[in-house]
Chain A
Amino acid sequence: MAETVEYNGKSFDVDEDGFLLDFTQFTEEWLEIVMKEEGIAELNEEHRLVIDVLHDYYKKNGIAPMVRVLSKLTKFKLKHIYELFPSGPGKGACKMAGLPKPTGCV
Chain B
Amino acid sequence: MDIKPEEMIKIHNPIPKKSWMDTPPDLSEGKFCYPAKAKTMEYLGIPNARDWSPADEDWKLPENWQQIIHEGFKDRLDKYRSLKVFMDICVRCGACADKCHFFIGSGDPKNMPFLRAELLRSIYRNDFTALGKLLGKIGGARKITPTVIKEWFSYFYQCTECRRCSVFCPYGIDTAEVTMMGRELLSLLGININWISDPVANCSKTGNHLGIQPQNFKEIVEFFCEDIEEISGIKINPSFNRKGAEILFVTPSGDAFADPGTYTFMGYLMLFEHIGLDYTLSTYASEGGNFGLFTSSDQMKKLNAKMYHEAERLGVKYILGGECGHMWRVVNQYMGTMNGPANFLEVPKNPITGTVFENSASTKMVHIAEFTADLIKHNKLKLDPSRNDHLNVTWHDSCNPARAMGILDEPRYVLKSVCNNFHEMPVNTIREQTFCCGSGAGLNTEEIMEQRLRGGLPRANAVKYVHEKYGVNSLACMCAIDRAALPPLMDYWVPGVDVTGLHELVGNALVMDGEKERTLNLRLEDLPGAEGDSDER
Q: Is the CB of B444 within 8 A of A105?
A: yes
A6 to B223, CA, bound (A): 40
A62 to B37, CA, bound (A): 18
A78 lies within 8 A of chain B by Cβ: yes
Measured between beta carbons, the chain A residues less than 8 angstroms from B444 are: 105-106
Q: Is the CB of B258 within 8 A of A106?
A: yes
- Given known A-B contacts A63-B212, A105-B254, A106-B210, A69 and B220 have beta carbons under 8 A apart: yes
A40 to B291, CA, bound (A): 37
Measured between beta carbons, the chain B residues less than 8 angstroms from A15 are: 34, 37, 194
Measured between beta carbons, the chain B residues less than 8 angstroms from A41 are: none
Nearest residue in B to A105 (C-beta to C-beta)?
A: B254
Nearest-neighbour CB distance to chain A for B204, whole angstroms, equals 13
Question: B interface, how many residues as a size bin?
Answer: 35 or more
A104 lies within 8 A of chain B by Cβ: yes
A102 lies within 8 A of chain B by Cβ: yes
Which B244-272 residues sit within 8 Å CB-CB of chain A? 252-254, 256-259, 261-262
A24 lies within 8 A of chain B by Cβ: no
Interface string of B521-537 (1 = CB under 8 A from A): 00000000000000111
Q: Contact partner of B223 among A61, A69, A102, A105, CB < 8 A?
A: A69
A48 lies within 8 A of chain B by Cβ: no
Measured between beta carbons, the chain A residues less than 8 angstroms from B215 are: 61
A72 to B444, CA, bound (A): 27
A2 lies within 8 A of chain B by Cβ: yes
Interface string of A71-84 (1 = CB under 8 A from B): 11000011100000
Nearest-neighbour CB distance to chain B for A96, whole angstroms, equals 17
Q: Contact partner of A68 among B52, B211, B223, B289, CB < 8 A?
A: B223
Which B183-241 residues sit within 8 Å CB-CB of chain A? 194-195, 198-199, 202, 208-213, 215-216, 220, 223
Q: Is the CB of A106 within 8 A of B195?
A: no
A86 to B135, CA, bound (A): 60
- Given known A-B contacts A2-B51, A63-B216, A105 and B484 have beta carbons under 8 A apart: yes
A63 to B209, CA, bound (A): 11
A51 to B537, CA, bound (A): 21
A106 to B194, CA, bound (A): 14
B332 lies within 8 A of chain A by Cβ: no
Q: Is the CB of A16 within 8 A of B212?
A: no
Q: Contact partner of B262 among A1, A61, A68, CB < 8 A?
A: A68
Which A45-62 residues sit within 8 Å CB-CB of chain B? 60-62
Measured between beta carbons, the chain A residues less than 8 angstroms from B209 are: 103-105
A1 to B52, CA, bound (A): 6
Nearest-neighbour CB distance to chain B for A104, whole angstroms, equals 3
Nearest-neighbour CB distance to chain A for B456, whole angstroms, equals 16
Q: Contact partner of A63 among B52, B211, B262, CB < 8 A?
A: B211
Q: Contact partner of A16 among B34, B262, B289, B480, CB < 8 A?
A: B34
Q: Is the CB of A1 within 8 A of B51?
A: yes
Inter-chain contact total with CB atoms closer than 8 Å: 87
Nearest residue in B to A15 (C-beta to C-beta)?
A: B34
Q: Is the CB of A77 within 8 A of B483?
A: no
B53 lies within 8 A of chain A by Cβ: yes
Measured between beta carbons, the chain B residues less than 8 angstroms from A71 are: 537
- Given known A-B contacts A17-B446, A62-B213, A66-B220, A104 and B34 have beta carbons under 8 A apart: no
Measured between beta carbons, the chain A residues less than 8 angstroms from B198 are: 103-104
Q: Contact partner of A104 among B254, B446, B536, CB < 8 A?
A: B254
Measured between beta carbons, the chain B residues less than 8 angstroms from A69 are: 220, 223
Measured between beta carbons, the chain A residues less than 8 angstroms from B195 are: 103
Q: Is the CB of B259 within 8 A of A67?
A: yes
Q: Is the CB of A106 within 8 A of B484?
A: yes
A67 to B260, CA, bound (A): 11
Q: Is the CB of B289 within 8 A of A105?
A: yes
Nearest residue in B to A57 (C-beta to C-beta)?
A: B216
Measured between beta carbons, the chain A residues less than 8 angstroms from B216 are: 60-63
Nearest residue in A to B197 (C-beta to C-beta)?
A: A103
B35 lies within 8 A of chain A by Cβ: yes
Q: Is the CB of B37 within 8 A of A2?
A: yes
A79 to B195, CA, bound (A): 28
Q: Is the CB of B481 within 8 A of A1?
A: no
Measured between beta carbons, the chain B residues less than 8 angstroms from A67 are: 258-259
Q: Is the CB of B257 within 8 A of A106?
A: yes
Nearest-neighbour CB distance to chain A for B500, whole angstroms, equals 15
Nearest-neighbour CB distance to chain A for B73, whole angstroms, equals 28
Nearest residue in A to B480 (C-beta to C-beta)?
A: A105
Measured between beta carbons, the chain A residues less than 8 angstroms from B358 are: none
Which 10 residue pairs of A and B lie closest in terms of their CB atoms, listed nearest first?
A: A105-B254, A104-B209, A105-B480, A61-B216, A106-B258, A103-B198, A1-B53, A104-B199, A104-B210, A66-B257
Apart from A102-B257, A105-B258, A106-B254, 12 more pairs, CB < 8 Å:
A15-B194, A17-B446, A62-B211, A63-B211, A66-B262, A68-B259, A77-B537, A103-B199, A103-B210, A104-B209, A105-B289, A105-B484
- List residues of B whose CB falls within 8 A of some A CB: 34-35, 37, 51-53, 194-195, 198-199, 202, 208-213, 215-216, 220, 223, 252-254, 256-259, 261-262, 289, 291, 444-447, 480-481, 483-484, 535-537
Q: List 25 A-B contacts (CB under 8 A).
A: A2-B37, A2-B51, A16-B447, A21-B37, A61-B212, A61-B215, A62-B211, A63-B212, A66-B258, A67-B258, A67-B259, A69-B223, A72-B223, A77-B535, A77-B536, A103-B198, A103-B202, A103-B209, A103-B445, A104-B198, A105-B254, A105-B480, A105-B483, A105-B484, A106-B258
- List residues of A whose CB falls within 8 A of some B CB: 1-2, 15-17, 21, 60-63, 66-69, 71-72, 77-79, 102-106
